Structure 1
């Protein structure tokens, strides 16, 4: 089940030991979420099914892997069972942070589509999804992934409800959407995830997201929280520099077209499946501001800027509004933006190997429960691979001397 490419040097024995111990650990972590032992056991079997070798993670497939005569117990976990998906979400978040925590970690926000047929599945409708590259009938889920030098995994999720859903009380009730749920934009949902991460004590230094999330209140909230960001914006977004910085004014695309060739640098946004992800980059500092202007009591100078990425082959450009401590080099901002690749890789793995999009329920609760269980399975795999890839500790000189001494003693006894 674990892709061999995830592990650089772990032996099969080590991997199997990690697998067994990790599976026991995560099942023990989620046990308190269930009031009945049989429900907890069914949740454990559901997790086993997600981690199994079957390509389709349907109820029947999971039931067959669990030895059940039918999918009813598997379906009950998502529907009739009484447990809180948000409590599982928080359990997954704490598990990820425990293993991957780093003060300079990046919180990456992105969305993905769940292709559907029919009109009954909660939140479904004709809407654009990058998963299909077009407008199609689907659900949209917004996700937050924690990305650090130790590894990456999902820590939050939410189902997007279009206005045609939130404006239809009967449809909302039929899908068991909690009372009082109202329309929220995707940036507003992302802001809620950022606030939950901060409130939950998640250590991170940056937020990265594409142009869907570079609008609204996210930037201001991050400045107040003392977090840096690299957020995508549209080509028509307006930028202006302040006194003390090179004069810049206008739309992002016009600014980019007027740059001197010397302003561009070829830099890598990190390794990809085909080697380093090289692009041409330009960075313009627009204004320096004292941190306490946004966060009372904070100290230090921060810089607002514009980061531009140009594709080497076709010259296509992307634009990002940035906020970072003064003096942050362009290489750091490029690296932060490059961390967005991790969540794309996570979506691919979760869909192809863990059944992220194989949810057969139609309700609000079913979606959040299924996705949260997939998040747990993904986090477990990520932690296993992190530990499996750790280099073997080198023996200290003291240990080597002790080994030589004990070996020498045995040899002398053998010779005698």
Structure 2
């Protein structure tokens, strides 16, 4: 039941993330990304909310975490069906998504199976949720037997129904699984010192990169900056907890030089989901962090070959499996570090530049990553991704030499 509750909670978080645009400012509804205020977008707020709430909830009782989680689920549902509108709705949805992620991470504790379920569900739904929406909306027949009538014109009945059904199961599962649970010791405030500035710095670098549409130097400089802050943040986290952040950043760098996650039709979406689950399962049973990082390096090399010779390598079908495997292999970690790290895949990959390539992409890791022309071409992206993955692998090797630290002792 604990694993099921984490799967459902993670799906709600990831599915909500997939609907949060990295271009939309939560301070001004008219701000475009050349405006500095657009840095305060939904993804940034999710990351900061998750960090702050995880530290606070880790110092509270399990009952408090359950209440916060269920309340956050309700807010996300209300925002999804259009009952909370405008900027207020965007703020509420982002803050609630972060709070739910934090509560779930705290309730998962250091139980590796629960952490793995939460992580894979967040990443899977976050990356594939847009594709799922597209497939639901493309169905010409009656998808559901009733319609959702919201206060906004852009409410998607399909997404709203899915969210209502999954959220209902989430609330029940969280209560049944954790109502008698005792929480682990509270988190150190060091989590706040890392987790609050991390997404803000990433947003600033994305804004700098997006402001130079015709040149590659600034974009690559921003990627270098993100690599530096990812490494710095990972070593500031207690013990070996930063390895998850390094791994997630490595996965995002690998995706820059590939065609991302295959999710163009029903078969590809199901295949990507199945590969995520399979990779997570094998990573749970046979966790080998360096094996996973080594395969990420091979995928990055394949991206370079594909960019140079223009020969498809099919890495979009392999990446979901390897991503899930290496992420699960990097667990366990403290709840605060888990809540801090999971949003990194969405906030630390220059997402605005990738997303802005086309408004038709299903997620920020779709085929437009390799076809846009206003930023570095595919070969440059592939080489940059390969370098970043290599650096992350070396950083992991250094980090793993440190002793493990139990949450609350540093």
Q: Structures share a fold, TM > 0.5?
A: no
Name the TM-score, length of structure 1 as normaliser: 0.23
Higher strand proportion (structure 1 or 2): 1
Bigger Cα Rg: 1
Higher helix proportion (structure 1 or 2): 2
